[in-house]
Each structure stands twice: as C-alpha cells, then as structure tokens.
Amino acid sequence: MSQADLALALRAADVADAVSLPGFESRSFRVDHKADASEVTEIDRNTESAISDLLRRERPDYSLYGEEHGVVGPADAARQWVIDPIDGTSNFVRGVPVWATLIALVDDGTPVLGVVSAPALGMRWWAVRGGGAFYGRLGAAVDHLRDAIRLSVSDTASLDSASASITVTEAWHRAGKTAPLDALQRGVKRLRNYGDFWQHMLVAQGAVDFAIDGIGLGPYDNAAIYPIVTEAGGRVSNRHGAFDYQSDSLITSNGRLHDAVIGALEGDR
C-alpha cells in the first residue's frame, strides 16, 4: 500500500474525529438498539457517512464496508475500506472516553493498512504493511508521519509472567470455554479487561502481552487491528489460531505467547 493511502486514511480519521468527539462531548444524542440488542447512535451513523464520503470520493475504485451502512462501491473491487465508526459504543453512550474509529484497507482479502483513532483519549495508532506501526498524540501541531513513536510488542515469554487483558462474555461460556478461560486468567501475572480496541493497541505498544476479545465480533472490529499488531512485531488470530479478520473472535499477542494462549483455550495445556 502506498503512503498516499495511509495519508488518506489519516485524513479520514481526522474527519471522523470532527464528528464523533463533539457528539460525545455534547451528550445530546439519541440511543437506539440494533436487532442484536447492541447500542447505536446517530453519531455512529454520521461518523461513518463522513468517512465514506471522503474515501469514496478519493478512491472510487475501492469499495467500502461499514458497520452501519454496509457495502458501497464496486462489488468486484480488489481493495475495500472496512470501517467501524465508533468501536466501543457502549462506552461512548455512558460517557467513558475509551472508544475509537477503526479504518482498515483490505487488499485481496488481507488487511494491509489500519488506523485507530481515539479522540476522547487524544490517541491514534496506525500501520501500513511493510512500513511499521506507530502511535501519536492527537493535536493541531501533530504531523502524523513525522511526530510519531514506532510501536514494538513486549518480549515476555511465559504466561506466568504475562500481563493480560481478557474480555469474558456470555458467548465464551456458550462456547464451552469457561474452565479454560478461568485457568488462563489464574495463570497470568497480571489481569485486566481494557476492552475493545484499546487492549489490542496496548499489545502493540508492549504494555500488555496478550489480549483476548469477546466472541461475536465483525470484520469492522478486527480489520484495522491486524496490520497494527503485526507491524509492531506481534501476532493476530481468531480463537482457533487462524489469521482471519472476518472471524467472530480476536486474539492479539506479542507473538511469543500466542501458541500458549491458543493451546490454553483449546484445552491443550
């Protein structure tokens, strides 16, 4: 992917932040519920529309798949933007600042570019395949391609020394993983649940050694995470160990611990 695509994705994140952050701060939005009972606001929809308008105008040959409005653009496009306008809507609704816009570019089925922008936290992460992963503080004076910190995962090599973020949801229990998850949680040095995108960005930063998300995710939850963690030197998969951004689960790690985490979940430990 070119630096031009990355620059465009960062511009799209700026556009998204200009819609989502004032909406978050105003606290005047309406909350609806989707068929799966998850929350959605007009800010989600308006943010996705703003991103889509820019990306479709600048890259008409690419398609775009957004959580709120589905697929737009050419059906046979090799490249597709995959967008989650607000990842962490429940936090957004409650006034918790841990939410972000996720923008990915998928090339022939592989996520090759990712941007995660969390304006209420003043943080942004991004990566393009072969170009490394980076982190920067948001602000008028920030040049994303200059004033950035390169990301690198941790070197922790054992589960009993690991700092982990594990999101245990009812879907994990329905999958019959209560006992393996309980054993895994008890076997690490430090356990937290940072949730959503943030836990995976902390893995990319080396602050957390592995993160297990809830079951029930969509491609828009996953796609932007893949290139950021992998370019930081880590590993990403679904709960079975497969590199599949369209899966309903997401596990990130520093790479050294990945097989042990998957083995623990599969009951091989």
Tokens of 58: 């600048």
**CATH code for position 182:** 3.40.190.80
Residue 35 confidence class, pLDDT cut points 50, 70, 90: low
Residue 43 confidence class, pLDDT cut points 50, 70, 90: confident
Q: Which of 150, 178, 193 marks a domain boundary?
A: 150
pLDDT at 2 over 80: no
> 104, 96, 156: which is closest to 125 by C-alpha?
104
Structural domain including 21 reads 3-150
Q: What is the mean pLDDT of residues 234-255?
A: 97
DSSP 248: S
Across the chain, what does the average pLDDT equal?
91
Tokens of 24: 């978050």
On whether the CB atoms of residues 209 and 107 are closer than 8 A, the answer is no
- Helices of type H across the chain: 3-26, 42-58, 89-94, 170-174, 178-186, 196-205, 219-222, 225-231, 258-265
**CATH code for position 144:** 3.30.540.10
Number of domains in the chain: 2
Same-domain pairing of 230 and 140? no
Q: Which of 118, 150, 182 marks a domain boundary?
A: 150
Same-domain pairing of 250 and 201? yes
Q: Is 220 left (phi over 0), alpha (psi -120 to 50) or beta?
A: alpha
Q: What is the C-alpha to C-alpha distance for residues 125 and 110, in angstroms, rounded to an integer? A: 19
Give the gyration radius of the chain's Cα atoms: 18
Same-domain pairing of 140 and 191? no
Distances in Å between the Cα of 46 and the Cα atoms of 17, 24, 121 are 11, 12, 20
Same-domain pairing of 169 and 139? no
pLDDT at 51 over 90: yes
On whether the CB atoms of residues 187 and 230 are closer than 8 A, the answer is no
In the beta sheet, which residues pair with residue 150?
134
User: What pLDDT sits at residue 69?
Assistant: 83
Same-domain pairing of 200 and 240? yes
On whether the CB atoms of residues 119 and 85 are closer than 8 A, the answer is no
Render pLDDT for 4-15 as a digit per residue (tens, 0 to 9). Answer: 999 999 999 999
- Helices of type H across 71-175: 89-94, 170-174
> 100, 139, 131, 138: which is closest to 113 by C-alpha?
131
Render pLDDT for 205-225 as a digit per residue (tens, 0 to 9). Answer: 999 999 999 999 999 999 999
Q: Is the pTM of this model over 0.75?
A: yes
Cβ neighbours of 258 (radius 10 Å): 18
User: What pLDDT sits at residue 141?
Assistant: 47
Of 87-91, 117-121, 229-233, where does mean pLDDT reach its minimum? 87-91
User: What pLDDT sits at residue 77?
Assistant: 93
Q: What is the mean pLDDT of residues 73-102?
A: 93
User: What pLDDT sits at residue 50?
Assistant: 96
Same-domain pairing of 121 and 168? no
Residue 39 confidence class, pLDDT cut points 50, 70, 90: low
Residue 68 confidence class, pLDDT cut points 50, 70, 90: confident
Q: Which of 85, 119, 150 marks a domain boundary?
A: 150
On whether the CB atoms of residues 89 and 44 are closer than 8 A, the answer is yes
